[in-house]
Structure 1
């Protein structure tokens, strides 16, 4: 509630409060001689408080003005003792918060030194303690604000980095989904006319495979677009290892599982699925292979997925995103991925390993 109040009203209220407190000695008692208080004393009290109004815009000028008015107070003929000048303390706080170091230290020395020269030793000591305390509070507030700004800036940078990582992940997902679906559809469409004349039943299955690949791609893309459009609410789950056999079967690739499965994180499951999907897509598009195999190996300390083919062993073009995305997906989950021709020269191999 206090932060919603306009600063000008805050400063005006401070001026009224400071003037009332500093004029209290004038109103609470009379002079020992019975003479009325000097008008100059009233003027100095009000003049020392008015700079609070511009303490935010020009804190140095406000402090100097307040200190000069305070020093002139002793020149008035009949005035009550004024042990504390609150306006100067208020403005000193702003100087400590907003001014450069050399300037605020110089003004602190100037304010304390002037008190020593023109006031009694008791007043000088009291003023020095008060000014130093206010200066320390101001510096503490300035340091807290600077720390808050740094943290906000760091959060902003981290948010931007997270957004970039998410955009890269979504781009990889869309690349994998579209590449895989289109590759299967192209291969099946090219085979369709060949089998249509020889085996109508098989031709029908071929066209069913094309339709199924297209529908699956649309479902996955719609899922990604839904996540992009909404910030909350339930979303369809990402693919997991449970979906891997269907992916392999739909692609006409052999599938084998070795070892005893153990629990892995959802990120690893998604990475294995997408890596396998991209590797199969590369086999269809680039390998000119007659056979491909996917092997999932569960070892005591790691999970390994191997995708091999018997094609010509030529890697994906270096300017493509496929193999880069495979390595990035594995690295993002703490794993590694390698790809290249098989040692025996009979095809290409993609291997990704993830720690247990």
Structure 2
């Protein structure tokens, strides 16, 4: 199939030239099959029945008639080797069947049948010639039908693809509308609570300070809750998979590693309390790195290492494979770099120092000052 595709990609004039040379070589082959000097005049009908193939695309009917007229002269001159098949004739008939409109095709059928009946020396010759004509004509029509079917399938595939894109776009619009409504509800609820508490705060400061303190705490809690929900909403807008559950954190990394049979997890240092965004980024980075290990690297083993530094987390994923797409910077690696940069960190990746594997190294800042053991 690959050879056929390469042949179709060749320029048509080059294809016709090669076809003409092949036809001429096939028609001259009988002259080399016996130790005998053949009349040079026999080469004229052979050339006349082969060289017109060069112009078959521009003048299919004319080429077919020219070849049909040239063939009888081979028998008229006589004393030549037998030509089992006139290949130029077959190519010309195939081209007429493939490229000519119905009216011309019907006319050539009538002309061919009459012409062969006049020049055929015997019934066997006539039957053999008509069988050759029918086979070549049938091949041309089958090629036309195959091409039309292929174009129909391509158009159908393109139409289905457009329909899928429109359906996906409508689904995205519906999801965005839903998220917009949810964001409105979140903001309206949080802001309403914050306004009520803020209005009652000044009065409570003068009369009941403990209530003022509770009001300020309620305002802060409402703000934090709204911020968390909005962050998750915005995460849905950016996440191509549209996850609806809570965003994953560091505590789910062992579960993630456990799903990859060739991966192990090593954690060193004193764990820090990271911001939510940094935890999500760390999880996604490990997830994408392990996805590359499974899908692209061909690795037999991989190690996920979490190293807790004084004020940062260093994530390293090392495998013994060739890396994604042979080590190139695919969309997954670009996404890792972007996630790290969004948290104020950075990422590097490439072959291991020994050259026997691939490594992703990401440095993520803590994001919060508080440390716990």
Q: What's the TM-score, normalizing by structure 2?
A: 0.54
CA distance in 2, matches of 1:37, 1:182: 97
**What are the residue-to-residue correspondences of 1:146-295 with 2, within 5 Å?**
146-198=148-200, 199-223=215-239, 227=240, 235=241, 238-239=243-244
Q: 1:222 to 1:81 in 2, by over 3 A?
A: closer
Structure 1 distance, partners of 2:26, 2:225, is: 88
Query: Which of 3, 13, 17 is the equivalent residue of 2:22?
Result: 17
Alignment of 1:343-354 (within 5 A): none
The residue number in structure 1 matching 2:55 is 54
RMSD (Å), alpha carbons: 2.8
CA deviations 1:232-259 (Å, max 9, x no partner) are: xxx5x6226x99xxxxxxxxxxxxxxxx
**Does structure 2 retain, via aligned residues, the 8 Å contact 1:38–1:79?**
no
1:59 and 1:195 map into 2 onto residues whose CA distance is 90
Cα distance in 2 for residues equivalent to 1:167 and 1:146: 31
Matching residue of 2:129? 127
Contact 2:236–2:244 under 8 Å retained in 1: no
Alpha-carbon distance in 2 for matches of 1:47, 1:135: 21
Aligned to 1:283: none
| Counterparts of 2:237 and 2:32, CA distance in 1 | 80
The answer to whether the 8 A contact 2:31-2:81 is kept is yes
Deviation at residue 74 of structure 1 after TM alignment = 4.4
Cα displacement (A) at 1:220 = 1.2
Partner of 1:109: 110
> Matches of 1:119 and 1:60 in 2, distance apart?
21
Kindly tell me the number of residue pairs found equivalent between the two proteins.
227
1:311-350 to 2 correspondence within 5 Å?
none
Distance between the aligned counterparts of 1:10 and 1:220, measured in 2? 54
State the Cα distance separating 1:145 from its structure 2 match: 1.6
- Mapped to 1, the partners of 2:162 and 2:187 lie a distance apart of 37
Could you tell me how far apart the structure 2 residues matched to 1:207 and 1:16 are?
83
State the shift of 1:170 in Å.
0.9
1:230 corresponds in structure 2 to none
Deviation at 1:80, TM superposition (A): 4.8
CA distance in 1, matches of 2:40, 2:218: 113
Following the alignment from structure 2 to structure 1, what is the Cα–Cα distance between the partners of residues 59 and 136? Answer: 18
Assess, with a 3 A threshold, how the Cα gap between structure 1 residues 83 and 206 changes in structure 2: closer, same or farther: closer
Question: Partners of 1:174 and 1:37 in 2: how far apart?
Answer: 85
Deviation at 1:26, TM superposition (A): 4.0
Using structure 1 for the length normalisation, give the TM-score: 0.57
1:192-222 per-residue CA deviation (whole Å, 9 max, x = no partner) reads 2222233333333332333223212221112
Give the direction of change, closer, same or farther, for the CA distance of 1:214–1:26 in structure 2 (3 Å limit): closer
Residue of structure 1 in register with 2:70 after alignment: 69
**Residues in 2 aligned to 1:195 and 1:2: alpha-carbon distance in whole angstroms:** 77
- 1:216/1:16 CA distance change after superposition, 3 Å: closer
- Report deviation, 1:30: 8.2
Partner Cα distance (1:19, 1:87) in 2: 8
The 1:3–1:201 alpha-carbon spacing in structure 2 relative to 1, beyond 3 Å, is: closer
- For the pair 1:139 / 2:145, whether they are aligned, the reply is no
Q: CA 1:81–1:185 in structure 2 vs 1: closer, same or farther (change >3 Å)?
A: same
Residues in 2 aligned to 1:17 and 1:204: alpha-carbon distance in whole angstroms: 86
1:186 offset after TM fit, Å? 2.9
Which deviations, in whole Å up to 9, do the C-alpha atoms of 1:326-356 show, x marking residues without a partner? xxxxxxxxxxxxxxxxxxxxxxxxxxxxxxx
> Structure 2: any 5+ residue segments left out of the alignment?
201-214, 248-373
Q: SS in structure 2 opposite 1:84?
A: coil
Moved more, 102-111 or 42-51: 102-111
Q: 1:181 deviation in Å?
A: 0.9
The separation in 2 between residues aligned to 1:147 and 1:156, in whole angstroms, is: 14
Alpha-carbon distance in 2 for matches of 1:54, 1:182:
72
Cα offset, 1:21, TM superposition: 2.8
Give, in angstroms, the shift of residue 97 of structure 1. Answer: 1.8
